[in-house]
Structure 1
Amino acid sequence: MTARSGLTLRSRVLIGLGVIAAIAVAISIIVTGVTHTFLVGQLDDRLASSSAELGSREPRLARICGTGDTESDSDRPSDVFRGFVDLQGTCYVFFTPNTMDADDSAPDFEGVEMPTSGSVYLTVPATDGEGEYRVLARAANLGADITALPMDDVEAATQRLIAIEGLGLIAILGGLGVVGWWVINLGIMPMRRMVDASAQIAQGDLDVRLEGAGQGSESGALASSLNTMVDTLTASLEERERSEARLREFVADASHELRTPLTTVLGYAELYRRGAIARDEDVADAWSRTEAEAKRMKRLVEDMLTLAKYDAEPQLNPIRIDLSRVCEEVVRDATAAREGVEFALDAPEPVAIEGDPDRLRQAVINVVTNAAVHGGEHVTVRVRQDDAQARVEVVDDGPGMSPDVAARATERFVRGDHSRTRATGGSGLGLAITAAIVAVHGGTLTVDSTEGDGTTVAITLPAAPAEASGAQ
């Protein structure tokens, strides 16, 4: 069952504003009608109170309604018109309005049916064609007794009310228009743009970013959150691609590293099987080379297992140690093992850290050995403490590396000459293992090298708290 398509938020806003405008117009019409009816009702009440019997007074039938040649009752200032309409429809004047703003007009009863009994309220035009009269007609013996009041004030009040309501409606409609524009442009249009941008992101375009209505608005906050999410997703995808690329490179390099010694072993085995190696000295040389390649494979496999172990976050046995003493022992051992290379230690004071002594010693050995093998004739190990950081620098005066190679020196199977020669016996995993050891201790390893100007490998680790000073 498919869901019914609903109205867009913009359509709902416009419909809502239209309904509000329609309600405002309807209320104005109702108020105008009720007010007009109320004013007419008040006029009817005045007519009822002004339609008393004439009593014994003799009416002065001085003129027919509208002829304008009679006297007014100056002793009775009033705007009430009194008259009589006979059975033939002729209107006779008893009293005319004698106020200052009164005119000579009178009610026009042409074509108006008078009551034969009781009384009735009528609205008739004026004889001069301008305005209307409200009339109370009471049935009499020879016609109808007429009491009338002009509706000028009622009409004027109604027109003023209509004008005021018109201005109010214009203001309301204008306000609704401004509100509609504000809501659509500052609220709905940014949402529409975000929907379009989200559709592009869903199609795989992760370079698109969402735009809200500005800082502080809900759409702006939503756009910021979604952009952060997209940035995180993009970074995760890029990291995954880099990881996959490193994995492919690692597999290719590992295969290459293992294939070469295996090829050597298989080659000597094939030669021996065919009898090509007959002399004792040739057999001894073949077995020696086979053993050397087997040991190379063993070291490579052990290094790979070590990296895998650090990738799985190994369990550490941290104790308080003196980093200066560890470096002193490594330099002393390297001096005894490496002839032709001059080692120097610059460690003026103890530097206390907390870590696994065996693994940290292995890390320093890897860096010092790497400098002795690939560097120059002089290797200096410096140990310093800077506030909460302990730092070990291994500096050599060798040929150095290019910036590109130095930036990737801690990656797996990366060699300083970017070749696959094994003259030095290295597998390209030494600095990778060292970086992994330093990382699990909460530190960092950096390589700073310039071609022709040597290499500096720096290990930075958290120092032990000052209040617990003392070396192990």
Structure 2
Amino acid sequence: MRGPRSLRGRLVWGVTLLAAVAVLTVQMIGVVVMHSWLLNRVDQQLEQFALPDGAFAQRAEPVVRPAPDSTTLPSDFRLTFYGAAGEEQGALGGGGTPGPKLPRSTGELRLTRGQEATVPAQSGDVRWRVLWRAGPARTTYVVALPLDTVEGAMSKMLALNAVILAAAVVGLIALGRSVVRLGLLPLTRMEHTAQLISAGDVGLRLPDTDPRTETGRLGTVLNEMLDRLQQALGQREFSEARLRRFVADAGHELRTPLTTIQGFAQLALRHPERPAAQRREADEQVARNAERMNLLVDDLLLLAKLDQEPAYRSDPVDLLALAADAVSAAAVRADGEHPATLSPLDAKTKDAELEVVETVGDPDRLLQVVNNLLSNALVHTPPSTPVDVRVGTARAGAAAGGTDLSGRTSASPPLAESTPIGVIEVVDQGPGLPPEEAERIFERFYRVDPSRSSDQGGSGLGLAIASAIAQGHGGRVELDTAPGEGCAFRLVLPLAAGAQSV
């Protein structure tokens, strides 16, 4: 037969079986002890039996026979006498029940003198307890007591034990089901809650979280797992929405130059006899838009490569040299419209000097980050706005950077507090950004001014690329800004073990 499959059924039947075995064991021990005690009482009666003085009659010959006036005994005792030669001499005892079944001679008597034994009756189911003892003049006799009282008491005790066992099993099943149902009530509530969660209500949580119970600890673990699953689902939805927005933005960015190229190509096909000046202008527009599209595709490919965990070089990098190269290149591009200077990180301190900041990384990619930050400052600030590039070392914190702070924006996780860091900070004195725009500054294809053309404002991928490169080096790019206070873009990199500033 198949056993119950449910946990409740297994617990009920398991507890009932164990309890029934325990009750049955106790009953068996009780029966054995009771039987042993009753049998010992019978044995004591046999050992304490005193043979009456007139039980034997003396004759001239050395044969001892039972006296005629002693044919009955005032009890359940039965006596069987054996002569000196071992032959049966007779029996004494009253009652109408058949006596013990004994042989005619002591040679056939399978008893040990002075030791009790149990023998069957001459007829019927009653058994006798017998004791072989020595009598006068080398005679012997066997004294016996029936065990009907003992066996009757044991029969009644066995019947009572059977009734008690049956009642205990029935009671255990009934009580066990109630106890198990009450004990499994938290699991039942978990089951109902899980059904609601699977039906779509992912915000529900399991109610039983008492750490003192097994179900409570299970509920706590499951709630943590549900929180992580919900967080993962949220991140997945966010990633999907971000991917859809990225694809839409990329399509929009590519459509503009493609439309321009397509329009001039169709114009050239429809009007091949245009003047040379118009053809040259059209060719310049086609080349310019093709270049824009090529740059956009390069940026997209670079982002895709950065998202796939690219392998960066691990060469010694001098952050001061990188900053100096970026400032020199920016001065050539700006042609005097934006004054760019190179300063120590702690420029407010008197006697502060530029220091060589050494770390390990990919110098070309890190130079790309610095150029991007500096170019972003030059493009998005009014002409003649000073831009200061600061280089130095510090420890990660609220003041130096590298950790989160109110009003600070970054797309990368913060560094551990007090981590030795190298910093390149690009600070401008422009109009700054409001908080809602600063929060989205590192999003792909995001432009602070949507009306700005791609020629003036770029494609909106530069800061996203810079943030991805910095995060790939174990650091991050962050922004501190406020309306009217300018912008401070900061490249924060952990210093290599043993790196020193000079």
Partner of 2:304 in structure 1?
Answer: 308
Contact 2:359-2:422 at 8 Å conserved across structures: yes
TM-score by length of 2: 0.63
Q: Structure 1 residues 214 and 185, CA, compared in 2 at 3 Å: closer, same or farther?
A: farther
Q: 1:295 aligns with which of 291, 299, 314?
A: 291
Aligned equivalents of 1:446, 1:230: Cα separation in 2: 32
Q: 1:381 aligns with which of 386, 389, 394?
A: 389
For structure 1, the 5+ residue unaligned runs are 58-81, 86-112, 121-135, 137-146
SS at 2:456 equivalent:
coil
Displacement, 1:346?
Answer: 1.8
Does 2:393 match 1:412? no
Does 2:329 match 1:342? no
Q: Structure 1 residues 354 and 37, CA, compared in 2 at 3 Å: closer, same or farther?
A: closer
Partner of 1:20 in structure 2?
Answer: 18
- Aligned positions of 1:330-409 closer than 5 A: 330-338=326-334, 339-347=336-344, 348=353, 349-376=355-382, 377-387=385-395, 388-409=420-441
TM-score by length of 1: 0.66
Q: Which amino acid aligns with 1:351?
A: V
Aligned equivalents of 2:75, 2:381: Cα separation in 1: 134
Displacement, 1:192?
Answer: 4.8
Does 2:434 match 1:436? no
Aligned equivalents of 1:464, 1:45: Cα separation in 2: 97
Over aligned residue pairs, what C-alpha RMSD do you find? 4.3
Percent identity over the alignment?
Answer: 36
Partner of 1:125 in structure 2?
Answer: none
Question: What's the CA shift string for 1:287-341, capped at 9, x where partnerless?
Answer: 3333322222122122222222322333333321221221122112212321322
For structure 2, the 5+ residue unaligned runs are 56-72, 77-93, 102-128, 130-144, 345-352, 396-419
Aligned equivalents of 1:213, 1:402: Cα separation in 2: 44
Does 2:321 match 1:317? no
Aligned equivalents of 2:98, 2:500: Cα separation in 1: 123
Contact 1:190-1:213 at 8 Å conserved across structures: no
Partner of 1:102 in structure 2?
Answer: none
SS at 1:456 equivalent:
strand
SS at 1:335 equivalent:
helix
SS at 1:114 equivalent:
coil
Aligned equivalents of 1:216, 1:405: Cα separation in 2: 49
Contact 1:265-1:293 at 8 Å conserved across structures: yes
Displacement, 1:231?
Answer: 3.9
Displacement, 1:373?
Answer: 0.5
Does 2:236 match 1:255? no
Displacement, 1:374?
Answer: 0.7
Aligned equivalents of 2:48, 2:313: Cα separation in 1: 115
Contact 2:4-2:10 at 8 Å conserved across structures: no
Q: 1:285 aligns with which of 281, 285, 306?
A: 281
SS at 1:330 equivalent:
helix
Aligned residues: 376
Q: Which amino acid aligns with 2:489?
A: V
Question: What's the CA shift string for 1:361-414, capped at 9, x where partnerless?
Answer: 111011100011112412222222114211122122223333233222222111
Partner of 2:497 in structure 1?
Answer: 465
Q: Structure 1 residues 420 and 343, CA, compared in 2 at 3 Å: closer, same or farther?
A: closer
SS at 2:436 equivalent:
helix
Partner of 1:104 in structure 2?
Answer: none
Question: What's the CA shift string for 1:38-83, capped at 9, x where partnerless?
Answer: 44334434544566454459xxxxxxxxxxxxxxxxxxxxxxxx84
Aligned equivalents of 2:252, 2:339: Cα separation in 1: 34
Partner of 2:324 in structure 1?
Answer: 328
